[in-house]
Structure 1
Amino acid sequence: MKKVTITLLVSLIAVCLVSTHCQAKSKAKHVVLIGLDGWGAYSVPKADIPHIKQLMADGSYTLEKRSALPSSSAINWASMFMGAGPELHGYTEWGSKTPELPSRVLNEHGIFPTIFQVLRDARPEAEIGCLYEWSGIKYLVDTLALSHHAQAPDYNKYPEALCNMAEKYIKEKQPVLLAVCFDNPDHVGHQAGHDTPGYYAKLKELDTYVGRIIQAVEDAGMLKETIFIVTADHGGINKGHGGKTMQEMQTPFIISGKNVKKGLEFHESMMQYDVASTIAHIFGLQQPQVWIGRPVTQVFK
């Protein structure tokens, strides 16, 4: 009997140690992902974006993250959230609402696995949200895996609405994972053109919203336990995107906050679908076999 008791005790201790180790793998309690549609990496050195540049100084970044092809919206928002490219998730056009190619795998909600669903499966009670301006986002995030999702009203009439929604949600709900998807500077890129005074004016405006979201996280008492990610789906050239120029394909990836190295510019290869994998890594989650993304582990302490 003594041997059986000792064996059981050792087993219980081993289970506890494994559980503790799994919990310790989490890098932060919260992740706030801020996406700026149409934000090309080429613009960063010239842009007046003090809040974003402070995140760069306080964290790690690359200006060489590449989009999936074609370098346009639905393809790349899907890749960002789904940890794989269009060959696997199947969203292949600018405004895809459903996959044009059969998704390689479908989850229980009938959609390719997203970071939101992977987190939901691991933490059923987690507060998970997505707020956006472009209606196309809702087809790519697996809304059934979210606690809350909402589209902001017309930006032209209510330019601060999405920021206001994000501030309110953060302070009221303290989400574990929140994606805030702004539909600019893409619109200005199509109207005034990329790399124009109007484009840089819009980036300056958006930077104020990033600053307000950071402040909301601090006001909610989450700042010390949060990792911020600021990135984009694609860049652009002239008044368009979707092609194979570096201005269209290279986007910034900025990560800052708890357990992130400071002042690191990294040059290792990063693809759009590595964003989902990096978020999974932050939360200590095992990513689905069908994902091809790799976490950018070099940015963490």
Structure 2
Amino acid sequence: MKKIVCIFLLYCCVVSTAFAASWKAKHVILIGLDGWGAYSVEKAEMPTVKEMMKNGAYTLEKRSVLPSSSAVNWASMFMGAGPELHGYTEWGSKTPELPSRIVSHYGIFPTVFGLLRDANPKAEIGCMYEWDGISYLVDKSALNYDKHVTEVKDNPAATAKLAADYIKSSKPNLLAVIFDEPDHVGHTAGHDTPEYYTKLKELDNYIAQIKKAVEDAGILDETIFILTADHGGINKGHGGKTMREMQTPFIMCGKNIKKGYVIEDSMMQFDVASTLAYIFKLDQPQVWIGRPMKKAFK
């Protein structure tokens, strides 16, 4: 019996290794900044982000789905489709307002987390977020690590620290780290204000800490970083149809990514999920409509 168990475990290890060998990278760190408008990138003091742009591929013209609000766009980013299909249509959607076109065995419209889990049961997958609305948009049972970072109320650096600790201890294949800023500053002080740019500078420092953790974990050469956002903003709000609200950055750098490449192809929010699926060689469900940014890869 012990021999059979050992053979089975060896088989699982070989299968897992074979999957990873075919991936574009063994590790992907997706960092999302809520309310980060593409209009701000040129003016912002974000040396880490701009170094990633220089050494990677990017577009400042990725468009949100409508409305240009949080839940509907994070859902689209994870689910490879728009609100007409996944059914999450509002800023704070916790359940689909429209019936999801299909529901996976995780009880939710298919996400990239569930696809990766089904394709490789031994994958290490994590998601941490400061806004609890994210928790309704991911298939939690597909995750090894699921964390709503409530500590950020007293310690703004908590999310970066938790992400760094998890990266160094578990070396995740896919980790999504979603900050709830600069959205709050955008709603209080306003977009395109000194306070907004101060917050972006602070967030750049957190991104640098996460990147350093990947380096310390010894997996930098096998990692792709993706930086993006759900929506931008104008004055003290968002949700409308201006480009300042709808256009967000998409920056990708690391293993197998072209350097200094400007993505000229049209990109939508749901193309993020498809690009992640492309990295991990996952078959897209028929209901997904996203397209991977293949030209950004070597």
| Structure 1 equivalent of residue 27 of structure 2 | 30
What does 1:9-20 align with in structure 2 at a 5 Å threshold?
none
Which digits, 9 at most, give the CA deviation of each residue in 1:127-156, with x for residues without a partner?
100011000001001111111110112534
| Structure 2 equivalent of residue 111 of structure 1 | 108
| Structure 2 equivalent of residue 74 of structure 1 | 71
What does 1:138-287 align with in structure 2 at a 5 Å threshold?
138-287=135-284
Aligned residues: 283
C-alpha distance in structure 2 between counterparts of 1:134 and 1:146, whole Å: 17
C-alpha distance in structure 2 between counterparts of 1:216 and 1:27, whole Å: 21
The answer on whether the counterparts of 2:19 and 2:120 sit within 8 Å (CA) in structure 1 is no
SS in 1 for 2:244: helix
Closer/same/farther in 2, CA of residues 23 and 221 from structure 1, 3 Å limit: closer
Instruction: Tell which structure's C-alpha radius of gyration is larger.
Output: 1
| Structure 2 equivalent of residue 292 of structure 1 | 289
Counterpart residue type for residue 87 of structure 1: E
SS in 1 for 2:184: helix
| Structure 1 residue corresponding to 2:133, chosen from 113, 133, 136 | 136
Which digits, 9 at most, give the CA deviation of each residue in 1:223-257, with x for residues without a partner?
00000000000000000000000000000000000
Counterpart residue type for residue 101 of structure 1: L
| Structure 2 equivalent of residue 65 of structure 1 | 62
TM-score if structure 1 supplies the norm length? 0.92
Counterpart residue type for residue 219 of structure 1: D
C-alpha distance in structure 1 between counterparts of 2:256 and 2:265, whole Å: 19
TM-score if structure 2 supplies the norm length? 0.93
C-alpha distance in structure 1 between counterparts of 2:270 and 2:251, whole Å: 15
C-alpha distance in structure 1 between counterparts of 2:237 and 2:20, whole Å: 45
Runs of 4+ in 1 over 3 A off after TM superposition: 20-25
Quote the sequence identity (%). 69
Counterpart residue type for residue 267 of structure 1: E
Deviation at 1:217, TM superposition (A): 0.3
The answer on whether the counterparts of 1:25 and 1:282 sit within 8 Å (CA) in structure 2 is no
C-alpha distance in structure 2 between counterparts of 1:121 and 1:289, whole Å: 16
C-alpha distance in structure 1 between counterparts of 2:136 and 2:19, whole Å: 32
SS in 1 for 2:175: strand
Which digits, 9 at most, give the CA deviation of each residue in 1:52-98, with x for residues without a partner?
00100010000000000000000000000000000000000100000
Which digits, 9 at most, give the CA deviation of each residue in 1:111-141, with x for residues without a partner?
0000000000000011100011000001001
Deviation at 1:99, TM superposition (A): 0.2
C-alpha distance in structure 2 between counterparts of 1:280 and 1:152, whole Å: 26
The answer on whether the counterparts of 1:192 and 1:239 sit within 8 Å (CA) in structure 2 is yes
Counterpart residue type for residue 92 of structure 2: G
- Cα RMSD after superposing both structures: 1.4
Greater Cα offset, 117-126 or 156-165: 156-165
Closer/same/farther in 2, CA of residues 154 and 172 from structure 1, 3 Å limit: closer
- Which consecutive residues of structure 1, in runs of 5 or more, have no partner in the other structure? 1-19
- Which consecutive residues of structure 2, in runs of 5 or more, have no partner in the other structure? 1-16
Deviation at 1:24, TM superposition (A): 5.7
Deviation at 1:270, TM superposition (A): 0.2
Counterpart residue type for residue 130 of structure 1: C
Counterpart residue type for residue 289 of structure 2: I
SS in 2 for 1:267: coil
The answer on whether the counterparts of 1:23 and 1:284 sit within 8 Å (CA) in structure 2 is no
SS in 2 for 1:35: strand
